[in-house]
Amino acid sequence: MNKTLLLCLAILAVGALASTAPELDEGVYVLTDANFNDFVSSKPFVLVEFYAPWCGHCKSLAPEYIKAAKELIEEGVNAVVAKVDATVEKSTAEKFEI
């Protein structure tokens, strides 16, 4: 293989890995169908909220959930919090009967 082809393959591989890495939203990891399993299996403790953006209860929980996430980070606790938009990430939501 020539060097240009190898470089293109390396760039594509890095791009694929980056696209499945979870976004961090105010200390809360945003999980998707593409990254849920890998993320959860890579952490010893994960609290996952399945939510709907229109849900009043979910909206009420959000500030407290963010507060908990930040406290875990600040205290160096070996646990993280994450969230899954069940209206978008339907495969993962269905897997857990949400």
Q: Which of 8, 15, 27, 56 is catalytic?
A: 56
Identify whether 55 is a catalytic site residue: yes
Q: Which of 8, 15, 55, 76 is catalytic?
A: 55
Residue pair 34/24 in contact (Cβ under 8 Å)? The answer is no
Identify whether 57 is a catalytic site residue: yes
Q: Which of 8, 15, 27, 58 is catalytic?
A: 58
Q: Which of 8, 15, 57, 76 is catalytic?
A: 57
Identify whether 8 is a catalytic site residue: no
Going from the C-alpha of 61 to that of each of 9, 23, 57, 68, 89, the distances in angstroms are: 43, 19, 6, 11, 19
H-run or E-run covering 50: strand 46-51
Which residues form the catalytic set?
A: 55-58
